Amino acid sequence: MSAPKGDYELDVVAVHAAAADVVEVELAGRGAALPEWEPGAHIDLVLPSGLVRQYSLAGVPGAGTWRIGVLREEAGRGGSRWIADRLKDGAVLRAAGPRNHFALPETEAHVPLVFVAGGIGITPILPLAAAARAAGREVSVHYAGHENRMPFIDELRGVHGDQLTLHVSEAGERLDVDTLVADAARVGAQIVTCGPARLLDALEASGAAHGVDVHMERFEAEALSAPVWAGSFEVELALTGVTVEVPPDRSILQVAEEAGALVLSSCTEGTCGTCETPVLEGEVDHRDAILSPAQRARNDTMFVCVSRAACPRLVLEL
């Protein structure tokens, strides 16, 4: 997982409709070149209101500009509506990053990769699948959604040809998750996916049943179960030099900030990765939507906005 590279002032080069309720935004560095990024990366976009929202980079690494796709969500917290309704060419924004929690999985080159995107989840899948194909990997892409809300189809066809399968709801071409995963199991493929929670949950469950590794990025937090450690717990902030008590109704992030620790944060729901913190001692109750089971098992990092202790005491590098 890569750390953010910095804070940048951006010129909005172009804003246009990519599909119904989806806008495509092209961003350029204002007076400075933008940093390199790898497929799967996202940026933290700072809106004029102070809202910070995470958007996957959907363009081509090395192109000199950044491209994002934004789905206008009526029930969201206002960021996507502002971008879709009010953002214009020539505006100036700020962003931090890029940071990458969704890089191509480290598998043997002969392992086929099956990319599955649902709706706006196509944005990180677009550069990931293109990079895998350019590297000579065996790639297939499945893209599911509503007919008028599926951006970048022509671009996908140009890169993947007949290895692109569209699953359009209105045409009765819904994605059969179990069949897709069973087919992946037969050829020893790995699945890489991003999309709505229902799709990811279904792929995760079917992958577990068929023994298929599913590498995913979630745009929204998972529903949380009861914490492993139900009561209060202590956290030693090793860099700050204090020990704090975290009650059941507060996060480590909230308590650490009050104690004077410097903690970068953004989403506060375990999806963006900004608050990632090294774990020096103790067992963690991982409650984020980022780490894989293998990463969680290493117990060497956590996201303090949502994850908690699974024991009476943690020591963190804060």
Distance (Å, whole) CA 147 – CA 198: 19
Type of residue numbered 97: G
Instruction: Give yes or no for a contact between 213 and 191, defined as CB atoms under 8 angstroms apart.
Output: yes
pLDDT in tens, 14-35: 999 999 999 999 999 998 899 9
- Round to whole Å and give the CA distance between 145 and 175: 9
Domain boundaries, the chain: 7-99, 113-218, 233-316
Alpha carbon 178 to chain centroid distance?
24
pTM, entire model: 0.86
Helix, strand, or coil (residue 92): strand
Does 3.40.50.10700 match the CATH number of domain 113-218?
Answer: no
Report the CATH superfamily, name and number, of domain 233-316.
Beta-grasp domain (3.10.20.30)
By DSSP bridging, strand 92-99 and strand 164-168 are unpaired
Is residue 6 pLDDT above 80, yes or no?
Answer: no
289 within 8 A of 256, measured Cβ to Cβ = no
Amino acid 111 reads: V
Residues 6+ apart with CB under 8 A from 239: 261, 317, 318
* Helical H segments across the chain, by residue range: 79-86, 122-134, 153-160, 177-187, 197-210, 252-258, 293-298
Instruction: Tell which wins on pLDDT, 187 or 291.
Output: 187
Name the DSSP class of 62.
T
Q: Name the one residue in this structure whose structure tokens are 């480590």.
A: 252
Band (3; pLDDT cuts 50, 70, 90): very low
| Contact by Cβ (8 Å): 288, 271 | yes
Architecture in CATH of 7-99: Beta Barrel (2.40)
pLDDT digits (tens, 9 = 90+) for 208-247: 999 999 999 988 766 677 889 999 999 999 999 999 999 9
Residue 27: count of CB within 10 angstroms of its CB: 25
End-to-end alpha carbon distance in the chain = 19
